[in-house]
Copies of this chain bind each other. A is one copy, B any other.
Amino acid sequence: MRLTRFILVHPSHAGNVGAAARSLKVMGFHDLVLVSPRWPDVLEHDEAVAMASGATDVLARARTVPTLAEALEGITWVCATAMTPRDFGPRTEAPRAHFATVCAEPPDIAFVFGGERFGLSNDDVYRCHVCLSIPTAPGYGSLNLAQAVQLIAYEWRLALGGFEVQPRTAPASPADARAVQGLLDHWAEVLVAIGYLDPGAPKKLMPRLNQALNRAQVTAEEVHILRGIARAITASRETD
């Protein structure tokens, strides 16, 4: 099992720390480290606990260290989520493209996020192997810290193989074409009876309904309902 660590450098809002904990737990990660947070006891703040929701175990296990170097123990691949410094620094890549290159042999990886106010310092970025840049709208690229953590955790989890999406209902199986034709014949009878379909000049009414039913991929149960409606129309006319 390789390490996946999320490191928040100088976070200043307790709510973001809690939301970050929830964001990584929901993607199956649990290793959160804070570097010199603005409030040393931020992990116990009410707002952090509230925003963590069911992820208070991640907060409880999170560590606080004074420097980024200490947060990087055991990590072999360090990803800054930042712009690269203007002078030089690691290459800048989009998360999805970068993860495609490293996930074949996943390293012990850390994602390093700067604080809400000043981002990462150049000195911190120089310690990293790559700058991950989440592709954002030109002119408004400012993600909230916890949203950035969520996106990176999601992309990395998918790169590692992802989780299954479990439908709760069996997929509906479409009615076979013969059942659909039976329905259309039944409706044609009723539509003639109520004067909507002229058997002498039927135009394209039935083929149009056929196409709508085909696109809908109606199920056997829906065919049953639609034939029930046809029967009810006939019955209501007979009792009048």
One of A2-10, A20-28, A63-71, A192-200 contacting the partner: A20-28
Of B133, B137, B150, B158, the contact of A147 (CB 8 Å cutoff): B150
Partner of A137, one of B25, B93, B143: B25
A53 beta carbon closer than 8 Å to chain B: yes
Name the residue on B nearest A18 (C-beta). Answer: B144
Copies of this chain per assembly: 2
A77 within 8 A of B: no
The answer for the CA separation of A106 and B182 in the assembled complex, in Å, is 35
CB-defined contacts of A141 to chain B, threshold 8 Å: 26
| A12 interface residue per 8 A CB criterion | no
- Chain A binding surface, main DSSP class: loop
A91 in contact with B53 given A140-B25, A151-B151 (CB within 8 Å): no
Given A94-B165, A137-B28, the answer on whether A54 and B150 have CB atoms closer than 8 Å is no
Chain B residue with Cβ nearest A20: B147
A92 to B138, CA, bound (A): 33
Which listed segment binds B: A37-45, A82-90, A206-214, A232-240? A82-90
Contacts of A157 in B (CB 8 A): 135
* CB-defined contacts of A147 to chain B, threshold 8 Å: 19, 22-23, 26, 146-147, 150
Contact with B along A147-191 (1 / 0, CB 8 A): 100110010011000111111110110000000000000000000
With A163-B135, A165-B135, A169-B85 already in contact, the answer to whether A140 and B26 are too (CB < 8 A) is yes
The answer for the CA separation of A148 and B109 in the assembled complex, in Å, is 24
Instruction: Check A96 for interface membership: any CB of B closer than 8 A.
Output: yes
A101 within 8 Å of B by Cβ? no
The 10 closest A-B pairs by CB, nearest first: A28-B137, A92-B167, A135-B163, A147-B150, A133-B165, A94-B165, A26-B136, A135-B165, A135-B162, A26-B143
